Chain A
Amino acid sequence: MHELGVTQSLLDLAVRHAQQAGAARVTQLNVVIGQMANIVDDSVQFYWEIIAQDTIAAGAVLVFTRVPARLRCRDCGHQFAFDHREFVCPACHGEQIDVEGGDEFYLESIEVDLPADSIAQSDEEERSSHARN
């Protein structure tokens, strides 16, 4: 259930980057989660719908990319997936295994709406300043 804290951090991060870019709205978050990061997508999604309400990220779509842990046999070089059961090479039964990746846990990027109305607004300001002159 630590996904609540995680989701709050995700929201803060997305909103901060959107504001820095002057965006009006966040429409999508691209999140990368490794197999071993112990984060449940559904749970993040559940909290997201609650806590993102009334923010510029309300209604944004969460897209999760799961990164599998990659296991590599030191004896024969065979690469294979981690099944959470054992670390034994399926090719040569070697037990000298290196783990690569699977710990990822970051916000890759966000997709945003740029403020169309603010562009219109600045045009209008320009016109009214011309009118005053």
Chain B
Amino acid sequence: MPEIKVVENILDANDQIAARTRQQLDALGVVALNIMASPGGGKTSVIMQTISALKDEARIGVMEGDVVMIDVEKVAALGVPVTLVNTGGNCHLDANMVSSALPSLPMDALDLLIIENVGNLICPAAFQLGHHVNVVIASVPEGDDKPYKYPAMFRGADVLLLNKIDLMDYIDFRLDYFRHGVEVLNPGVAFFPVSCKTGEGFDAWLDWLRARVAQRSATNEA
């Protein structure tokens, strides 16, 4: 029986759409973040605090991958453009959903696009969206073993936030164990322990993000 060599990434079709979106974003000078975490890890809280801190410095738009409007309404209340990407119950965003949702936002009037992915530590890691930065948010109550259980998510991260560090005293979370897992899977990844509740650690994350957006703007003007 004849065998035909293929050797092609199974999600190549998705990746091609993502590459086109990335080109569009680059042409517009927009930096896009793909925010990934478990349900309840603090994606929306991190996004809202980030917007509150930066909205006078950068023009921010938000895409919410969800099936209900709750988070969209919360973000809209901050006065930034936001659109729902209805995932129809899907466990992740894909490049086509994001590409189709771009016209719902004033893309030519944005510096930063924040895409909130579906709460899930497994599936979203496999799908390129066209974004520039993978932001993974882990949180203390989820436990210190997450990098070991869901390595793909941590391997693909460009930035890792460890949220809810205000709970560290109440939970057996071995920070060294967690960090070692992350460091082996993804050496040198930017790591910010934060608390949305107390604001601890947030400035370091915001400075990182400011620098990333400035880098894009500079490239775009050059």
Which residue of B is nearest A31, CB measured? B10
Residues A38 and B122 in contact, CB atoms below 8 Å apart: yes
CB–CB B91/A2 < 8 A: yes
Of the candidates B7, B10, B91, the one whose C-beta lies within 8 Å of that of A109 is B7
Judged by a CB distance under 8 angstroms, whether A47 is at the interface is no
Do the beta carbons of A2 and B126 come within 8 Å of each other? yes
Flag B138-168 by CB within 8 Å of A: 1 or 0 each: 0000000100111110010000000000000
Contact B155 A103 (CB under 8 A): yes
Contact of B152 among A13, A14, A23, A37 (CB under 8 A): A37
* Interface pick from A48-56, A82-90, A125-133: A82-90
| CB atoms of A107 and B6 under 8 A apart | yes
**Residue of A whose beta carbon sits closest to that of B148:** A84
Residues of B within 8 A of A78 (CB): none
Q: Do B10 and A9 touch across chains, with their CB atoms under 8 A apart?
A: yes
Contact of B10 among A13, A17, A23, A69 (CB under 8 A): A13
Binds A, one of B35-43, B177-185, B191-199, B203-211: B177-185
Indicate if A81 sits at the interface (CB-CB under 8 A): no
Stretch at the interface among B11-19, B23-31, B53-61: B11-19
Chief secondary structure at chain A's binding surface: mixed
Q: B180 near A105 (CB under 8 angstroms)? A: no
Is B6 a contact of A38 with CB atoms below 8 Å?
no
Interface size on A, residues (CB 8 A): 42
Q: State A87–B143 Cα separation when bound (angstroms).
A: 17
A97 and B184 within 8 A (CB):
yes
Indicate if the CB atoms of A107 and B8 lie closer than 8 Å: yes
| Binary A-proximity of B112-134 (CB < 8 A = 1, otherwise 0) | 00000000001101110000000
With known contacts A36-B155, A38-B150, A105–B4 Cβ distance under 8 A: no
Q: Which of B3, B92, B126, B151 has the most CB of A within 10 A?
A: B151
Interface membership of B218, Cβ < 8 A: no
CB <8 Å contact, A105 and B3: no
Nearest CB to that of B120 among chain A residues?
A: A2
A112 to B123, CA, bound (A): 31
- Does the CB pair A17–B180 fall under 8 Å? no
Q: List A contacts of B155 (CB < 8 A).
A: 36, 99, 103
Interface status of B1 (Cβ within 8 A of chain A): yes
Distance from A31 Cβ to chain B, minimum over Cβ atoms (Å): 7
Residues of B within 8 A of A109 (CB): 3-7
Which one of A2, A5, A13, A85 contacts B6 once the chains associate, using CB atoms below 8 Å?
Answer: A13
Contact B122–A112 (Cβ < 8 Å): no
A106 within 8 A of B: yes
* Interface presence of B94 (CB below 8 A): yes
Rounded to whole Å, the gap between the CB of B76 and the closest CB of chain A is: 28
Q: Which residues in A have their C-beta under 8 angstroms from that of B185?
A: 99
Q: Which residues of B contact A18 (CB under 8 A)?
A: 4
Interface residues of A (CB under 8 A from B): 1-2, 5-6, 9-10, 12-14, 17-18, 21, 23, 27-28, 31, 36-39, 69, 82, 84-87, 95, 97-99, 102-103, 105-114
Listed A/B pairs (8) with beta-carbon separation below 8 Å? A5-B92, A10-B10, A23-B4, A95-B180, A103-B155, A108-B6, A109-B6, A112-B2
Q: Other CB < 8 Å A-B pairs besides A86-B148, A109-B4, 10 of them?
A: A2-B90, A87-B148, A95-B180, A106-B10, A108-B6, A109-B3, A110-B4, A111-B1, A112-B4, A113-B2
